[in-house]
Chain A
Amino acid sequence: MSNIPDHTGALTCGLRDFFAAADGRGLAQAYARIAAAGATPPPPADWDETEYAFNRLFVGPGPLAAPPYSSVYLDPEPRLMGRSTSLTRAVLQAVGLESTWIGSIPDDHVAVELDAALALRNIAATTGPGPGGELAALRRYFVAGHMARWVPRFADRVLGQLSLPGPIVTATRKLELWLEAELAALPPDAGAAPARDIPQPSTGGDYA
């Protein structure tokens, strides 16, 4: 699998739709979008097992095996609507946007953050870096300083589960590659800061 940046946003949209899917049909449709954006293993004939696993990992009703919210991984406390959620919301607000789920589903759900990354890329493409490079800095913060700090841990949590159906493995691996490509696609930074704030594995405090 290559790590060519997703210029058309097709992969971003496919991943977003996958992690936001409400049922097996939604998962199948999203998977098709992912497949259209690049080489992908064939889909299963029956999506039931994938749907059950998807719910077990990301939705419920039981405790989630891999909660798809940044605040679970980044905040001092694995919770919803934490500090990280507020930061994501602030990033959106800074560019005049809000989540359609606002108030009822945390803004830092991976699907919302994928959409946010897409929005920031589109704005950068149409508007440029902004006065004093502020827009570029905001985009760099969001992708390198926020998503890059939790998405890999989220992916690790998913891939560490046993007996994962193929589509979930594929989507998660594609998510990791998407992130690498997004980071590579960030405009070079004038300052001396590193391209990526590499998180250390945590020894405790993980939501388990």
Chain B
Amino acid sequence: MSGWDRTRMERTLENGVTRRGFLKGLALTGAAAAAPCLLLRALSADANQRFGEGYQVFRNACPRNCYDTCSIKSYVKDGAVRFVEGAPESTYTHGGLCVKGNSYVRYAYSPDRIKYPMVQDGRGTGRWKRISWDEAMDRIAKKILELKQQDGSLLGLALTKYSGNFGITNYGVEGLMSSLGYTTRLVGTPCWPAGIDAQNFDMGNMWCNDPEDMTQSRYIIIWGANPAWCSVHSMKYIYAAREAGAKIVVVDPVLTQTAAKADEFWQVVPGSDGALALGMCRHLLDLGLHDAGWLKANALGFDAFAAYLRENVTVEWAAKTSGVPAERIRAVAEEFARAKPATIWIGYGMQRHVNGGASVRAIDALVAMTGNIGKVGGGARYGHLQTWGFNYHAMIRKPPEGSKGFVGAAGPKGEFDFAQGGAAVKYTDRALNINKTAQEILDAKDPAVRMLWVSCKNVLSQDFDRNKLLQAFKKLELVVVADHFFNQTVEQADIVLPVTTLFEEWTVNVSYWHYWLSLNEQAVKPLFESKSNIEIAAALSKRLNELAPGSCTFPTQLDTREWMEKEFNKKVYELFGIQSWEDLRKGPVKARMPQAAWSDLKFGTPSKKYEFTSDLCAKNGNNALPVYVEGRKPYDKLRLLTPHSKFNIHSQFQNLDWMMGFNPAPVVYVHPAAAAERAIKDGDTVRVFNKTGEVRLTARLTANVARDTLLMYEGWYKGLAFNCQNLVDDTPADMGKFKTGAPGVAIHDQFADLVRA
């Protein structure tokens, strides 16, 4: 080849066959050439395999906090994931992901990824030094031992972890804490606890039908949920139901994307959903359209509920309270009762109010009194954990001998606390309310919370009352954060540890909505020096035991694949009809469960029936009946809603360049009338403020919101200080403590005003 031509050379290099002929006859030995080089070595024997002509395909699963938990196929070439697709074997994933899943290659290979353990000289200063894993583990281990020595226990060490990564082996983080001794845990869930309690009081468990059975629904009410954005894979079933003649009704304070696809949309006063549901119940009672036979056989306390309705609820009152026309309340209630089967999808947004639990109970009651529980295509759908019966081998660990801890009642540590139960113990972990993280850290004493471990969570982007959080962080002597990107929590960390993405570790995944099981294979080597959460735990345990033998019972060496295998048990194999986890290499599988939850009508309540009258609910500080509970009184001029965008899962994905390209900046949506009153025009920069804090962002005018409501979406934008949690206080919801350890948060009972900036 004479001269040289860049394009031609690149083609030669990229074409494996030609490249192997290139430089033939030169008899180069890699060793000789590598002599002065530090970072190069002779080619290893299997190098040619790495440059295969085609792709290697791996099975992965999206471990994010999302209904859809997609099964993924990853295409790897030259040791890197090149592109992803949805697994075609899952009828739910159906071969396609979503806007977020399709950005995964950008997520894993973003130049912004945290690469090495690093230490910050002065929290928030931006003065970072790289340290080795050995050094990081040494520093952390020494701090832990210091706490133990000074406090006599490890209650000064707190863990805050939630939904950043639902790969089952990631419960090894909780396992690490348990293997250190008794620690402080931020317990509860900001997400769905009020509704979980409500469904537990009513039915004895939170258990939704298979979403794929919605094709057989004749009537679907989507109540305070937005699947067109937050569960795109569910929409095909809703469309199919409609094509077969079903009616779709959406109830929401906002004209959401889902509402725009419905047959009928009701704009509702936020937090008035309980009144609306009770109004519908009253109307059905009056018309005798309740399923008396079903209720007699399967329900407890319906008569008491009926009496309550007659004395306290009218359709006119429901209309006045909810803003929905009385005529519609009657008409839709009748349609719902007559369509068989009929179902209601209860959204998590719907229960993020001070009366959220009561509202869920009222909606459950509407579904139950029409005889729609336990039927395919029916049900009060919220979520389920029926397919989560793993061993939790990573999570369930014994504390070292002689560990001291908290003396007091021990409740569940959250809805995913599968380690609960067992014999009474002398000591327990100390439980603090995750929904009041700031206040709890400020108030904790004997001992104070001195060290915080953060994993699968972004405290400073997601927890409430951000200003108070920053105050609370001042009390912490050491903050350790394991994460992928330099987010608002990492900014306030002392030590950051790089973690692996789904492509770089073995684990297994299921969903809290659909009924599928997915394997997550390790597709590529961990990038840079990232480690999975359990590898971090093992490394820390190793160092601790070197410094103080017996101080940590977590294994000091492990393989993520083995730990994935150890999560499987006979029950899981039977439920999914597989012989071994290896079967999942061929694709995801579906649980062999009846499509209808409660199809055997054996409820999990004390009476074994559906309980309109629930003593358990009363014992837990609420009313025994699904009564109306008033909403929160406004503390400012306009209501502020901060629900979820289609472009992110909380603080994940929106920071990626590809996503910023489609959604560049946060926006507050304002009704034109409210804007006019404040001389605000479309596109103006505004300041939204309330007693908790403020944010600055662009205003967009739209009648998708009511004139007394502001709407902004939670999320973390790369390079922007925007955080809606500046405006959200930590007022609790009415339920959540029973099943998840702490009450929920009235996220959508916030109020604010705005002004042109």
Contacts and interface: CB of A to CB of B under 8 A. Distances in A.
A and B touch in the complex (CB under 8 A): yes
Interface string A111-134: 110011011001100110011111
Nearest to B117: A61
Interface in B522-580: 524-529
Nearest to B78: A86
Contact of A193 (B3, B26, B42, B110): B3
Contacts of B413: none
A60 interface: yes
Interface residues of A, number: 76
A79 B106 contact: yes
Interface stretch (B56-64, B126-134, B450-458, B639-647): B126-134
Interface stretch (A37-45, A88-96, A162-170, A176-184): A88-96
Contact of B486 (A62, A72, A89): A62
B79 A102 contact: yes
B26 A92 contact: no
Interface string B92-124: 000000000000011001111111101001000
Interface stretch (B17-25, B283-291, B339-347, B357-365): B17-25
Interface string B13-53: 11000010011011011101111111111111001000100
Interface in B652-707: 657
Contacts of B106: 77, 79
A134 B121 CA distance: 51
Q: Among the interface residues B10, B19, B42, B526, which one has the most CB atoms of the partner chain A within 10 A?
A: B10
Contacts of B524: 103
Given A97-B43, A145-B6, A122 B35 contact: yes
Contacts of A156: none
A79 B656 CA distance: 11
A119 B40 contact: yes
Contacts of A115: 37-40
A191 B4 contact: yes
B39 A101 contact: yes
B112 A95 contact: no
Contacts of A60: 112-116, 118, 128, 486
B80 interface: yes
A24 B9 contact: no
Given A56-B128, A99-B40, A80 B527 contact: yes
B1 interface: yes
Given A78-B111, A138-B23, A122 B36 contact: yes
A59 interface: yes
Interface of chain B, helix or strand or loop or mixed?
A: loop
A124 B126 CA distance: 45
A78 B6 CA distance: 21
Contact of A16 (B38, B79, B111): B38
B718 interface: yes
A141 B111 contact: no
Given A86-B78, A90-B14, A112-B40, A105 B111 contact: no
Contacts of B742: none
Interface in A42-74: 48, 51-52, 55-56, 59-64, 67, 69, 72
Nearest to A67: B111
A92 B35 CA distance: 14
B727 to A, nearest CB: 26
A80 B41 CA distance: 22
A133 B111 contact: no
B26 A130 contact: yes
A20 B525 CA distance: 20
Interface of A: 9, 13, 16-17, 20, 22-24, 48, 51-52, 55-56, 59-64, 67, 69, 72, 77-82, 85-87, 89-105, 111-112, 115-116, 118-119, 122-123, 126-127, 130-135, 137-138, 140-141, 145, 189-193, 197, 207
18 contacts: A23-B129, A56-B126, A59-B116, A63-B112, A63-B486, A63-B719, A86-B14, A96-B28, A96-B30, A97-B40, A119-B40, A135-B26, A138-B9, A138-B23, A140-B4, A141-B9, A190-B2, A192-B3
Given A13-B38, A60-B115, A63-B719, 5 more contacts: A61-B115, A97-B40, A103-B79, A123-B33, A138-B9
